[in-house]
Structure 1
């Protein structure tokens, strides 16, 4: 059984376009916040801390697929259901479903990698690379 974490969003007037529906980039902002919240709820320390202790600076997005089902507007309260559907060596797949009550608003799936800085010849231009997912993270999040 995979863990499901729910991230709550209150849609504000400023989240909407002139048609009074959520402007689509805001969904991506909420998905990103829900992704980080998943790790927080599972007990993973802040990315600042994991960078110090494990070298992991975060989980950047490398692919996303989204299906918009219904619209949402200001005043709506949304629940973003998040789970990891697949763990890989350096990456993982997150599934999201956003609900307003029992109404499905959006479904999405993204792929993220665990990333760390790697040494380069130019210290002013650090490079980022995917690294194996630390076992402690897997233990906390499964």
Structure 2
């Protein structure tokens, strides 16, 4: 588990909401994905274009997700997405997210991601967690 927690802030716009005026749920996953990359950037991990050249890591594809929605959010809300690594594994890691509006919990999410690389035939494969990236994120 990592002690490092990074916060990514999102302002909900009118176009992010459904006709009922609440955030359309796929937008949360878009923001969580952006918060994941923001976490690595804030920890000092280079852009994926660079890690592709130096480590063979093209990014962190999602392989599993579990989300619990607690409250709704609407346009005009400012959401904070707190991100941390909950668990490091040999070829994957668990990234945990807590979305809040002030003190109000909006949702909780855990994702299992891999450090993806390409095989010679171009297909995706899971790489061992790079020690240099793990060290930056702990």
Normalised TM-score (structure 1):
0.95
Q: Residues 91-128 of structure 1: CA distance to partner in whole angstroms, max 9, x if unpaired?
A: 000110000000000000010000100112xxxxx101
Partner of 2:124: 128
Residue 6, structure 1, aligned to residue 7, structure 2: yes
Counterpart of 1:62 in 2: which secondary structure?
Answer: strand
Count residues with an aligned counterpart: 137
CA distance in 2, matches of 1:131, 1:59: 10
Following TM superposition, by how much is the alpha carbon of 1:2 offset from its aligned partner in structure 2, in angstroms?
Answer: 1.2
Name stretches of at least 5 consecutive residues in structure 2 with no aligned partner. none
Query: How well do the aligned residues superpose, as a CA RMSD in angstroms?
Result: 0.7
Q: Residues 52-85 of structure 1: CA distance to partner in whole angstroms, max 9, x if unpaired?
A: 1110000000000000000000000000000001
Normalised TM-score (structure 2):
0.98
Partner of 1:96: 97
Partner of 2:116: 115
Within 5 A, what are the aligned runs for 1:1-142?
2-120=3-121, 126-142=122-138
Following TM superposition, by how much is the alpha carbon of 1:31 offset from its aligned partner in structure 2, in angstroms?
Answer: 0.5
> 4+ residue stretches of structure 1 with deviation over 4 A?
none
Of stretches 17-26 and 126-135 in structure 1, the one that deviates more from structure 2 is 126-135
Bigger Rg, which one: 1
Name stretches of at least 5 consecutive residues in structure 1 with no aligned partner. 121-125
Counterpart of 1:109 in 2: which secondary structure?
Answer: strand
